[in-house]
Chains A and B, each alone.
Chain A
């Protein structure tokens, strides 16, 4: 791959993560448990959609084929999305949504902090901006994890079940594939082995704070980074792409 192809593919993958989590959180708009949490969730969803736009716009320019951010978001096929499987998992209940965000964001923040030091100035700038948003999300999420984990017997049991169910999707975040390696070699990108070590210790501390039990790595799922998705993803895309597919080129 040429350097331009590497940065385009890598930035697209970051955009896919942001877009898919943003879409999942958007599905929850108008169903928050409290007015204030509703606003918080909608803010987070918007943060992610905003990040996706920045990543896709950068990717489109690196690619140089005249595609727009909308083409990336709405007019690709399922196998062309390279988001983590974790992020496409359904929202479930409040605890499921929360654990999904905390597991991802505790990794994503480390990744963004490393990307700030990469040699592509534009990506570094986007990463710095996104890191500020995600740092707050994680603060919010970590507090909730403690509230639920260290809360009632029922909340503890349910959030432990969420953690156990989603744990198998965390493996692929920590394993470098060819693109991660190329990004690291060519652009001084993140070292996923370092990030994995830091993530494991941060998550262990978070989970202990919340009086929960850290699950064992077993039957880890992977494939999202290569475009092989879980059954839920097609439904997410169908809803998200419906308008652009039915009314091509529709705008506000």
Chain B
């Protein structure tokens, strides 16, 4: 079963690398923000599977925290790019 988790980690890392191309080379700021949001979602799944690969249950708390920070960060970025300011 540890082999299945290892292969899963490898494929999620490949998907993160594919999304990283769009974050680096994407035209415009919206493509980059969308790619960073998608990398964050993949990182949550990566952290959960990694917790079972290393057999340490502390990674799930980090995954919960990362999900919330990713969501808030994307919302703040969308609002800032739409209005040009954050608090009004």
| Chain B binds chain A | no
Interface residues of A (CB under 8 A from B): none
User: B residues bordering A, Cβ < 8 Å?
Assistant: none
